[in-house]
Structure 1
Amino acid sequence: MKKPLHLKSGKFKRKQLIILIVCIATGFMIGYSFKLTQNQQKATDPYWNQEDSYREELIEQQERNKELAEEYYSLQNKMREYEKTFAENEEEYEHLIEEAERLRLVLGYLPAQGEGIRVTLKDNEYNPNSTNPNDYIVHEFHVLSVINELKISGAEAISINGHRLKSNSYIRCNGPVITVDGKQYPAPFVIEAVGNSETLVSSLKITGGVFDQLLNDRIVVTLEERNLINMPTINDEIVS
């Protein structure tokens, strides 16, 4: 008696399923074995590890090169902006140069030369009837009042008895002499200033100003306008 056909078909499908499962399992085992072998080779083969190290370094270097390229382009853009700003503000730049030169002159780093004035302060003759002889002597505040007025009036450079003043110069009275930056100078005290002579004289002789105060203190004062006054730099003063 013949078996039914559908039973043979069912057996055939089971065989195919079993073969498929065996193939999948075999492929998995082969893949796992290859992966395991590869890992073991990496662990034991120094050349393989070195290759990985080089690959990682290459990737890092490529990233660094990318960062440097971006930074380079950014700096180029900034440079173009600076150049554009410089071209637009060329006139302002020239003004800043002139202002820097003026400040160097005022600070004493450049020699001063030009018109100006000379102010001479002398002790007055002592009056025996006076109870205080200091009333006839030039003191530091007399010198300072002249210097401050000259600075306010735009003097470019000032000197006392040939000693050019710095921005931080100090003046101290010591009996019949004054000490300027550690150097002593006796009377008469000759103060020279480079600047517009007419402006400087007018500022000193303004009514109730420095000139009148000096006369009231019995100080002998003379004012001279000079066509040319030469002053060294403060560096020359230090060397000398």
Structure 2
Amino acid sequence: MHKKISYKSLVVVTIILGIFISLQLKSINQENNGMTTLKKGEQLTQELKSLKKEEEDLKEEIKRIQDDIDSYKNAKDGSLEGNISSEIKKYEELAGYTDVKGQGVVVTIKSVTESGNISNASLDGISYNFDLLLSLINKLNSAQANAVSLNGHRIVYNSYIHLKEDKLYLNDSIIKEPFVIKAIGNADTLASALQIKYGIVWEIEKYYNAKVTVEKSDNITIKASNEREYLDGVDINEKDED
């Protein structure tokens, strides 16, 4: 005769099985950071696509560099020298090491009185909110400006604007109004970047009692930075001492 399984024993076995299943599911969830297996799979698929995209971008960059190298290798001596000189010139201009001439825009910012007349008083609104000048310069750089200057001072990678004792400085030089910003590049593109509706020019004129003019020009000259003699903080004219 088969022994009958008591009802109590069946309940105990069922509870034990339920606990084991619960622990197993909890373990799976912990491994998937609380996500279902389906969600985890979707996340891994997305990450894989992202990695493949990065791989493709890197391959394209490697190919571009390799093409440049091949062009230098296959070029005649004169052509090779010309290509290298052209690259050096481009990067020297971007770094502010040489004078730059060309078309671009001239931006002039002046404070105004309540009657709308130009004032010779200090431009407190901008001076105490000089981040607006930085924003305007950043807009020009984003519009592919080849060179930018502020009141005759070339803006380079280590330029900084700061307020000290109610005076506005660009690096160690005091700058006063009118603020004149010159930028060399495509004049139409540069002007459009500043004069876009509700853009930086609109903001300055509406909230900071200032008049901003943006003039296009085919003949702008921006001088080299007076920091040319320093590379990474080292004076290249300094001679070694014995």
Q: In structure 1, how many angstroms separate the alpha carbons of the residues matched to 2:194 and 2:98?
A: 26
Residues 157-236 of structure 1 aligned to structure 2 (within 5 Å)? 157-174=147-164, 177-218=167-208, 219-235=210-226
How far off its partner does 1:198 sit? 0.7
Q: In structure 1, how many angstroms separate the alpha carbons of the residues matched to 2:213 and 2:179?
A: 11
User: What is the TM-score with the length of structure 2 in the denominator?
Assistant: 0.53
Q: In structure 2, how many angstroms separate the alpha carbons of the residues matched to 1:196 and 1:85?
A: 28
Q: Looking at CA atoms only, which structure, 1 or 2, has the larger radius of gyration?
A: 1
How far off its partner does 1:95 sit? 5.6
Q: In structure 1, how many angstroms separate the alpha carbons of the residues matched to 2:219 and 2:71?
A: 41
CA contact (8 A) 1:125 1:136 kept: no
Q: In structure 2, how many angstroms separate the alpha carbons of the residues matched to 1:84 and 1:161?
A: 43
How far off its partner does 1:226 sit? 1.5
Secondary structure of 2:212's counterpart equals strand
How much is the aligned-residue C-alpha RMSD, in angstroms?
Answer: 3.4
Q: In structure 1, how many angstroms separate the alpha carbons of the residues matched to 2:71 and 2:126?
A: 59
Secondary structure of 2:175's counterpart equals strand
Task: Report the AA paired with residue 224 of structure 1.
Answer: E
- Structure with a larger share of its residues in helix: 1
How far off its partner does 1:93 sit? 8.3
How far off its partner does 1:170 sit? 0.3
Relative to structure 1, the CA distance from residue 234 to residue 134 in structure 2 (aligned partners, 3 Å threshold; closer, same or farther) is closer
What is the identity percentage for the equivalent residue pairs of Structure 1 and Structure 2?
Answer: 29
Q: In structure 2, how many angstroms separate the alpha carbons of the residues matched to 1:226 and 1:84?
A: 39
Relative to structure 1, the CA distance from residue 84 to residue 134 in structure 2 (aligned partners, 3 Å threshold; closer, same or farther) is closer
Q: In structure 2, how many angstroms separate the alpha carbons of the residues matched to 1:148 and 1:163?
A: 16
Q: In structure 1, how many angstroms separate the alpha carbons of the residues matched to 2:192 and 2:71?
A: 43
Number of aligned positions between the proteins: 152
How far off its partner does 1:89 sit? 6.4
Relative to structure 1, the CA distance from residue 237 to residue 84 in structure 2 (aligned partners, 3 Å threshold; closer, same or farther) is closer
Counterpart among 74, 83, 91 of residue 88 in structure 1: 74
Q: Match of 1:68? A: none
User: What is the TM-score with the length of structure 1 in the denominator?
Assistant: 0.54
